[in-house]
Structure 1
Amino acid sequence: MNYSEKENFQQKNIKSKSLFYRVSQFVGFLLGARFFVAILLTFALYVSTFFLFNQDETFRKFVFDFKVHGIIFCTVLTILAGGIINQFYDFEKDHIVKPFRTRIQSFIKQKYFLYVYLFLCIISLTVAWLISHNVFLFFVVYQFFMWFYSHKLSRILIVNNLTFVSLTLYPFFGMMVYYETFSRKVLLMAIFLFLILLCIDIVKDTLTKSVDKAFGYITIPNYFKSNTTKSIIISLLIITMAVSMKLIIRTGISGFMAYYFTGGLFVMIFCIYLLLNSTRKSKFLTLNILRFWVFVGIIAMLLNGIENKL
């Protein structure tokens, strides 16, 4: 290999390393901001807003309702900001729990995550202020508790689980208030979702029990005995089944949502069976089944809404 060929080879090598570094930075940012979670929540917000909370408005009117799109846009930015600040405070813990994600994130300095966090918060609040003062106040509260959860509440027993689930549902509550959609069916569906997300969060904590304890996170699994934790999760699943039955029998729910809540009874029973085995594999399987069932619920609501609108 002559000098010219050697120089070209070195330049190509430098370019490939530079490209790899840039791609790694981009992927690291997406993981740090929990971009894919934000996409799922955006999809869920649009589906629930149009097909559950906003049943009287036509699709054309909904498309051109820029106030609603603005609120959802602010929500997405706040969720992305919340993901960034959460990974900032959990960075040391994530080194052990999520080594691959942490390694990808290491291509970006933590200070740049904070800059993006502040930028997203400012843009979200600016848009919220342009919509209305009430919307601005709504997002000030949302962003404050997002930060306060990551900074302090995530380490407090029971409060951490309740706050996490409440923050997840907070945007949906906002849409319910905006459209003034108050009914027994919506209330029971909110309770169902709250309970299933609470189960997911507690099961997740069982998989990181020792790491949480080492870093000062007081969770249900590392505070109570294993049998007590198992009893709590199973009790919550049984209550979730009771809520599902109430939805099916008392609210007259029909279509795909009726199939969803009926199928959910069998899903909960199977999850209880898995939890009784009390192995790490069974807990991991339970966690993913419950997560998948939440996604199935969004699809069922979408299909049910399309069926009702036709």
Structure 2
Amino acid sequence: MKDFLKLIRIENLVMIALMQIIVRYTFLNFAGLIHGFSDLNYALLIIATICIAAAGYIINDIYDVEVDYINKPDRVYVRKTISEKMAFNWYFALNIIGVGIGVYLSNQVNRSAVAAIFVICSALLYVYSNGLKQIPLVGNAIIAFLASTSIIVIILFNIFPYMFGFNNDQMTNMMHFLLQYAVMAFLINFAREMVKTIENYEGDQACGISTSATYFGINPTKILISLTLAGLLGFLIYFIYNNLFHLTYVIMYFLVAIFTPILFVIIKLIQAKEKSDFSFISKLLKVIMLTMMFSITAIVLLSN
């Protein structure tokens, strides 16, 4: 069980669930938008999201066994403690559960088409693992987009079905607000995925795998990461100016917990040379993802 939880990256799944819980019980609750979609349905939405994500981690590890023996030999589970057949069985089961719940929920909100988001995510995770990950930048962008869909599904199931003439402006504003968080999630995950290509450079190069780092080189990839993070800083300024300009304490939170750490990451990235340096940067970006998630709570609490 312990190795299975590691295989599905339980800590990442907890982060996804935590983010969706924060959005539900702080932002949506504050905006009065939780009455149409029940708590039970929202719990099912979280389960569907993490099932699809877990399936993605499994299929990625199945196809990455050889290179993982070089990049992270202590974190290889498929073929060692979990058979490839069992891994495939879990992959199919989790996808069926995730897509099945998505279809059920889409019928609950009378928007059957929105279930397609789960099918699209499942298909993208498969083709990513089976080839697209070897297309420099494209593979990184796919994973970053999929990370942002954990926010997009909230819009599709909690806001979009409840847009009517009398509340169209309010719902549109809420949708735009969350979409801006989806953009920030995309940018920080895109940067982190490129950092991981440098971290895994040795194994990827040995196995002839084309990634941002092996294709462009480590220094050009560092420049691309820095530009992405600079773009995120620019977007943060835009976001603060348009949404939080009158909230002094919230702005202070963004400056201390998000803006300054990103600047620190850029500085560390310029100085980074060893694999351990890039591993530290990757972990730091993960921490910034957490502070970015909790910024939604900060906005709600500090704006009262």
TM-score norm. by structure 1 comes to 0.82
Mapped partners of 2:36, 2:251: distance in 1:
26
Instruction: Give the corresponding residue for 1:262.
Output: 255
Q: Could you say which residue in structure 1 is the equivalent of 2:270?
A: 276
Deviations 1:208-243 (A, max 9, x none): 112112334321111113332222111112111111
Q: 2:292 aligns with which of 272, 279, 297?
A: 297
Instruction: Map Cα deviations across residues 148-191 of structure 1 (whole Å, 9 max, x no partner).
Output: 11112111111110001011111311212331454454443332
Q: 1:246 offset after TM fit, Å?
A: 1.8
Aligned to 2:49: 75
Q: RMSD between aligned alpha carbons?
A: 2.5
Are 1:106 and 2:80 an aligned pair?
A: yes
Say if 1:286 and 1:123 are closer, same or farther in 2 by CA, change over 3 A: closer
| Change in 2 beyond 3 A, CA 1:218/1:260 | farther
Q: Confirm whether residue 116 of structure 1 aligns to residue 90 of structure 2.
A: yes
Is the alpha carbon distance of 1:167 and 1:103 closer, same or farther for their aligned partners in structure 2, counting shifts above 3 Å?
A: closer
Query: What residue number does 1:45 align with?
Result: 20
Cα separation, 1, equivalents of 2:253 and 2:237: 11
CA distance in 1, matches of 2:77, 2:8: 15
Bigger radius of gyration: 1
Q: CA deviation at 1:257?
A: 4.4
Structure 1 unaligned segments of length 5 or more: list them: 1-25
Query: The residue matched to 2:81 in structure 1 has which SS?
Result: coil
Moved more, 93-102 or 104-113: 104-113
Compared CA separation, residues 129 and 268, structure 1 to 2 (3 A): closer
Say if 2:123 is the partner of 1:144: yes
Give me the identity figure in percent: 22
2:148 is aligned with 1:156: no
Unaligned runs of 5+ in 2: 161-170
Name the stretch that deviates more: 181-190 or 198-207: 181-190
What TM-score do the two structures reach when normalised by structure 2? 0.83
Contact 1:28 1:106 (8 Å CA) reproduced: no
How many aligned positions are there?
A: 283
After TM superposition, list the pairs within 5 Å mapping 1:1-310 onto structure 2.
26-52=1-27, 55-57=30-32, 61=35, 64-102=38-76, 106-131=80-105, 132=107, 133-178=112-157, 179-180=159-160, 181-183=171-173, 185-252=177-244, 254=247, 257-263=250-256, 264-280=258-274, 281-307=276-302
Deviation at residue 201 of structure 1 after TM alignment: 1.0
Could you report, residue by residue, the CA deviation over 1:81-104 in whole angstroms, capped at 9, with x for unpaired residues? 111111111111111222112158
Q: What is the deviation of 1:250?
A: 2.9
Q: Is the 8 A contact 1:45 1:72 kept in 2?
A: yes
